Structure 1
Amino acid sequence: MDILFLVLLAVASYIYLYKVQKSLSKTNFTNLVYLYFYHLLFGLYYYFFVFGDSIGFWNQSSILSFETFLYCLTEQKGTLFIYALNYIPANVLGLSYFTGTMIYTFIGFLGVSYFYRLSILLIPENPKINTFSLFPFLFFLPNLHFWSCAVGKDTLLFFAIGIASLALTDLKKKWIFFLFALFLSYLVRPHITLFILVALAMSILFGQSTALYKKVFLSGIMVGLLLYILPNVMEFARLEEATLDSFNSFAETKASKLGSVNNSTAIDISSYPFVFKVFTFLFRPLPFDINSIPTLLAALENLLLVFLFVIGFKFAYFKSIKSAPFVIRFMVYFLIIGTVAFSQTLGNLGIMLRMRNMFLPAILFIFYWHFYYSTIPYRSLNKGSHKNI
């Protein structure tokens, strides 16, 4: 059965790449194929050398009873939902953890490809620093792939955010994909769905070219969805009430607990000032945090991000973001919301990297757009790529 599914995955990969090829230039398609094999290498590395909770997600699903499966599927979110999702391949079909890893690796690649295609759609020309092209170089950053190939929540959320972002380029035609992304993220991590909805509402409300009636109508829908899922988000996060004091208490407690864990990547951020917490979430580990080869790679990657962020100040971030396409402004709000929330609660560099991976595409798109907009005279984007909803 494992061999059959691995063959089916190979066929599915070929069919997907064949279909996408029609909408890409030869160079862009070649780079996407490179990304596919690059991502596949990370999936293989994760299976052979990383022994994390992904094994538990798969093995636990393989021993679930049918009654427990139904309970996890219909009554639970987060980890228990992942158990239910893996039940059929791991339990009913008896697929191995290796095959499961390859399935999730393919799902993660789909997420990468959605962001890749989105960058081609939204940014007309390759952004450069002097003569160095940023595209597709930034799509080969290790952490973009490392945390989106394993069995578990991170890969599914990365996939869902990719679908949601691509769907926002033409919500009238792709609304069903956006709703699917919301539903999937809600089942995996309800608070991420909240972040998406708030970011979308802010993008609509502050969009300069969005008609007033559209702002009122779409914002009303967003508020309704927010009110619907808020109780579940609070229950998931174990917040007693939706107040600033309640969140601050939750953040301080969780940050202190995570910072006191006895492992090499634990840091106590509970006493950090706000700005330092944000910097830690976005740009650490750095060279002084290195204690392993994966940490070394992450530190080098973060040095690059810090470098891009700093030299970007040669131009006005606010001006470029203000002129960005709707989807990129949505990503900016999504990044801000997620950074503010997670930077106050996480006290473990490994967990920070995992959580940040959901927002890493937003960081890359900000750099792509900023360096494009700042170095090339502004010109109209392709029809449909810059319009608001």
Structure 2
Amino acid sequence: MIGVLFLIILFFGINQAIFSFFKKRHSFFSVSKMNLLYLYHTFFYGVYTWYAYNNPSDSKNYYQELTIHSGTWLELFGTDTLFINFLSYPFYSIGFNYDMLMFTFAWLGYLGFVYAYLFFREKIPIKIKVFKKIDFLTLVLFFPNMHFWTASLGKGSAIFLGLMMFTYSIVQPSKRLLLLFLGSAIIFYIRPHVFMFVAVGAVLGFMSGRQKIPLWQKLMIFVVMLGSLVLLQDKILGVMNLQNSDNLIEDFQAASEKNAEDLSKAGSGVDMSTYPLPLKLFTFWFRPLFVDAPNLLGLITSVENLIYLLLFLKIIRKDFIKFIKKSPALVKMSFVIFFTASLAMTFVMSNLGIIMRQKTMVMYFIFFVIYYYMAEKKYKKLIRLRDMKRKREAELVVQTP
């Protein structure tokens, strides 16, 4: 406990240095909001730690693997689970116990929220209220389920950091190249298949965005991302044991059915194999929804899922397709990442517990799309009101004798 208290204070101090750096570069940066978010995330570290001590948790398995490792640090370098052990080992080697490692990774997850905040506010300066008086960005940043699954030793916290680092750095890739590389590396080494979705989304977004992006930047994104996919294809396909496949489509379907069957045997399993595609996507995005909540955590998540659904309904409009077609590169990138990743995961996820955890990787991308859509509509409305006001003022001037 003393070690965790020390880390809470230490990371709080490090946060202030990070905030000072960002405050100099972004006038909108709110130190007070980020400090409040740190305390909020720390609370969920406590919640998850209690949960882990009373339920099966991958975090205990990660720590156990560290205690029995007798080789060198570099021997742990690899993809998937190995990479989490690789990240953990330096801290474990200097004496961090289980609780301290848990909080260290919780802090990494917290930094993901800082980068998400930067990404949203840098690209969308307009504030939007939802449900009449709640600030959209504040609501998104404080969703409890997002914090719960990113506040522990494991893949969730680290890959969330990688994804948000990537999205923030891709805004200005030439100026944030190191951060872009680091975020991409974290994503790839934890979940190679997610890196594929991110790479495809970035390429499609930047190639079709409405704003004028220098040709050299488009070529850089295209070459780097597609080159990475070609070089790393064996590791990406290796996630589903398809690296030696002669027929990717058939073998992927077979592997997906086998994985879904295994997951559906769990206590919170749901048989999605016979669902039509729209219902599969609905299940991945918005379930559990009260009636199928597997436990207390599921009931709490159901409230959040209901809010997701209500936010999602805001883009079910006739003009949304037109908006996507004419949207900037980052909006298209976010939409492609969200949809392609969701589509792939629906074929292999048949367990509500795993669905609750996995979708934290992609939901922020659709939140960005929704936020941008609503902000653009508000901006156009403000422009119309301004023009109407100027027109009335001009008419009054003409009518004045």
TM-score under structure 2 length normalisation: 0.86
Task: State the alpha-carbon separation in 1 of the partners of residues 178 and 25 from structure 2.
Answer: 21
Check conservation: 1:259, 1:267, Cα contact below 8 A: yes
Pick aligned residue for 2:58 from 49, 53, 58 = 53
The aligned counterpart of 1:97 is 98
The aligned counterpart of 2:364 is 361
Displacement of 1:23 in angstroms is 5.1
Could you tell which deviates more after superposition, 362-371 or 213-222? 213-222
What does 1:29-178 correspond to in 2, within 5 Å?
29-50=31-52, 51=55, 52-67=57-72, 69-73=73-77, 76-90=78-92, 92-129=93-130, 131-132=132-133, 133-178=135-180
1:132-173 CA-to-partner distances (Å, cap 9, x unmatched) read 332312211111111111101111100000110000111011
Residue 279 (structure 2) pairs with residue 279 (structure 1) = no
Check conservation: 1:62, 1:87, Cα contact below 8 A: no
Task: State the alpha-carbon separation in 1 of the partners of residues 219 and 108 from structure 2.
Answer: 36
Greater radius of gyration (CA)? 2
Q: What amino acid maps onto 1:109 in structure 2?
A: Y
Q: What amino acid maps onto 1:257 in structure 2?
A: D
TM-score under structure 1 length normalisation: 0.88
What does 1:105-254 correspond to in 2, within 5 Å?
105-129=106-130, 131-132=132-133, 133-208=135-210, 209-210=212-213, 215=218, 218-239=221-242, 240-241=244-245, 243-254=248-259
For this pair of structures, how many residues does the alignment match?
374
Displacement of 1:359 in angstroms is 0.6
Task: State the alpha-carbon separation in 2 of the partners of residues 32 and 103 from structure 1.
Answer: 17
- Partner secondary structure for residue 347 of structure 1: coil
Task: State the alpha-carbon separation in 1 of the partners of residues 225 and 29 from structure 2.
Answer: 39
Select the structure with the greater relative contact order (CA < 8 A; seq sep ≥ 6): 1
Structure 2, unaligned stretches of length 5 or more?
A: 384-401
- Partner secondary structure for residue 42 of structure 2: helix
Structure 1, unaligned stretches of length 5 or more?
A: 381-389
Indicate how the Cα distance of structure 1 residues 188 and 27 shifts in structure 2: closer, same or farther if over 3 A, else same: closer
Displacement of 1:25 in angstroms is 6.0
Indicate how the Cα distance of structure 1 residues 344 and 379 shifts in structure 2: closer, same or farther if over 3 A, else same: farther
Check conservation: 1:194, 1:229, Cα contact below 8 A: no
Check conservation: 1:128, 1:372, Cα contact below 8 A: no
Check conservation: 2:45, 2:151, Cα contact below 8 A: yes
Check conservation: 2:204, 2:332, Cα contact below 8 A: no
The aligned counterpart of 2:324 is 321
Q: How much is the aligned-residue C-alpha RMSD, in angstroms?
A: 2.4
Indicate how the Cα distance of structure 1 residues 147 and 105 shifts in structure 2: closer, same or farther if over 3 A, else same: same
